[in-house]
Structure formats: structure tokens, C-alpha cells
Amino acid sequence: MKTASLSLCVLLTAAGTAAAYWELPPLPPPERYGNVVMDRGSSRVGAPGVAFSHWSHRIRYTCRVCHTELEFYMEVNATPVTEAASRGGRYCGACHDGKTAFGHTVENCDKCHSGRHHYGHERLKDLNYPKAPFGNKIDWNRALGQKLIEPKQHLLESEAGLSYGKNVTLEPRWVLGPPGVFPHQPHEQWLDCSNCHPEIFNIKKKTTEDLTMEQILTGEFCGVCHGKVAFPINNCQRCHPSMTHMQY
């Protein structure tokens, strides 16, 4: 009986120490979570940067539309988007053409070139979707599953991507730590295989074997999306389902 009690004590102590060890980054207010300001050249010509709201766009389109078909990189300001390219139908101009969405006309300039991360935040409060404890406080997967939103999977293409659907268990690198579980199926609803492979997760080189929490917290691997646009990792149980007693 003493041995069992000691084992339980060690297990709980290890879990508690692990939770205290990770210094999670502070989160912005819900209305700013996932918003970015793109400014590759706007400020050089005296114009504010372009404010882009992920939450307002994901109601209409999945992530793969922009990050696969329209060739936007995951990293802010890494995409060589220009006003001329957009007016020619590339990048933002694939939708903002005056037909699908408002076009590149003078009266619409400040709708994008506001330079403010929180631009349009007043509309977020009006969204009646399932709630989440972190990020912009919306559970987008549940909203999708309940068909409260039906974002388009394709804009320029018509064929569906590959479906893998399997869960991948990631064993922890610290003693007594709960394994992480990566479910392909919910990610496939939003992304294309090429969004993660091979640039973020190189299957052939097995880079996932070296994955650590430190790397995720600094924006690598899962941290490319989670903590910036997708739900933040403040809820340990979301990725470590066997951690039944620990939540930030």
C-alpha cells in the first residue's frame, strides 16, 4: 500500500512540476487573437499596413484556400504580395475583385489599410458559435461539426485532397509525462497535407522525433499555428488527453 501511495505521489509531483515548468506566452485579447498586420511596403509609401483578420475569413474559407491555392506563406510578411499583384487577381485579389468581395477601389482602401490589429473587432462579439476558453474564444471545430459554418475547401481547384484520418501518438521526452496525440482528421478539414509536410513536419527525415515543448512555444512545429491563429496551447488536455487533472 505504501508503494502504491509513493508511486501516485511521484506521478502527481512530476505532472505538477511539468506544468509549472512551461512558461506559456501571454495571450492577446480575443478580438486581436489571430489578427495580423501585413506591411511589406505600405509604410514606405505612407500608407498603413493591411490588417487581416483570420477569424472573419475562416467563416467563409478553410486555411488551405489561402495557404495552398493562393500561395500565402504561414509566416507574416513572407509572401511577396503587392497592390499590383492583388489587382491582377493574385493573393487577396483572387476574392477581392468587386464581385466575390469588395474590390480594390479608393472608397475601400481603409477597409484593409487600417494598420490596426483589432480592426473589425466589434463583429466578433456578434458571432453565436460554440465557445472556447482561449484564443478568440470560439471553438471553430465544433462550429464546423455543427454546420454553423460551411467554409469553402476550394477556390481555384475542384478536387478534394487526400484523407489520412489517423491519430499519431507522440511519446514525451520527460519521465512520466502524458503522450501528445495528433489527430489528422480535424486538421484535414482545414488544411492540405502540403501545409505541414514536408516544410513543418518532415516525415522522411523524421524530424518529429526531436519535437519538444520549447520548440512549440517558440513557434516551431505545432507552434507555427497554435498560439498564433489556431487555438493556443494553454489547455494542456487538448493535446495531452490523458492529463486529466491539469488545465491552465
Same domain, 238 and 139: no
Do 100 and 175 lie in a common domain? no
Confidence (pLDDT) at 235: 82
pLDDT > 60? residue 67 = yes
Cβ contact 112:50 at 8 Å:
yes
C-alpha dihedral sign at 119, 123, 128, 133 = positive
Residue 15: its pLDDT value, please?
43
Are residues 120 and 210 located together in one domain of the fold? no
Number of domains in the chain: 2
Q: Tell whether 191 and 134 lie within a shared domain.
A: no
3-state secondary structure of 192: coil
The answer to whether residue 6 scores a pLDDT higher than 90 is no
| 8 pLDDT tier (thresholds 50, 70, 90) | very low
Question: End-to-end distance of the chain based on CA atoms, in angstroms?
Answer: 32
Look at residue 245 in the predicted model and tell me its pLDDT.
62
More confident residue, 1 or 158: 158
Report the C-alpha gap between 19 and 11 in whole angstroms.
12
Share of the chain above pLDDT 90, in %: 62
Asked whether residue 58 falls in the same domain as residue 129, the answer is: yes
* pLDDT score recorded for residue 119: 77
134 near 234, Cβ under 8 Å?
A: yes
Same domain? 172 vs 202:
yes
The answer to whether residues 186 and 125 belong to one domain is no
Does 28 reside within a domain? no
Interval 31-52 mean pLDDT? 91
* Same domain membership, residue 174 and residue 91: no
Helix, coil or strand: residue 72: coil
Give the helix, strand, coil percentages of the chain, each rounded to 5.
Answer: 35, 10, 55
**DSSP assignments along 122-190, one per residue:** GGGGG----B-SSTTSB-HHHHHHTTS---BS-SS--S-------EEEE--SSTTPPPEEEEHHHHHTT
Let me know: does 104 contact 96? Beta carbons within 8 Å. Answer: yes
Integer-rounded Cα radius of gyration of the chain: 21
* Mean pLDDT to the nearest integer, 131-140: 94
Same domain, yes or no: 39 and 141: yes
Domain boundary pick from 119, 145, 171: 145
Cα–Cα dist 235/229, whole Å: 15
Examine the fold and report which residue of 96, 113, 145 is the final residue of a domain before the chain moves on: 145
The pLDDT, as a whole number, for residue 21 is 63
pLDDT digits (tens, 9 = 90+) for 84-132: 999 999 999 999 999 999 999 999 999 999 998 887 788 888 899 999 9
The enclosing domain of 168 has a CATH number of: 3.90.10.10
Mean pLDDT across 20-34: 83
Which of the four pLDDT bands, split at 50, 70 and 90, describes residue 247?
very low
Nearest to 170 by CA among 210, 200, 139: 210
Nearest one of 32, 227, 228 to 117, comparing CA atoms = 32
pLDDT of residue 144: 97
Establish if 153 belongs to a structural domain.
no
In a domain, 100, yes or no: yes
56 near 117, Cβ under 8 Å?
A: no
Read off the pLDDT of residues 185-211 as tens digits, 9 standing for 90 and up.
Answer: 999 999 999 999 999 999 888 888 778
Q: Do 133 and 171 sit in the same domain of this protein?
A: no
Shared domain check, 138 and 48 = yes
Say whether pLDDT at 147 is over 50.
yes
Q: What residue numbers bound the domain in which 172 lies?
A: 162-248
**Residues forming beta bridges with residue 39, ordered by sequence position:** none
Same domain? For 116 and 68 the reply is yes
**Among the listed residues 189, 146, 147, the one whose alpha carbon sits nearest the alpha carbon of residue 164:** 189
Across 138-157, average pLDDT: 94
Q: Look at residues 93, 113, 145 and tell me which one is the last residue of a structural domain.
A: 145
pLDDT at 66 over 80: yes
Band of the pLDDT at 246, cuts 50, 70, 90? Answer: low
* Count of C-beta atoms within a 10 Å radius of residue 128: 8
Residue 197, in any domain of the structure: yes
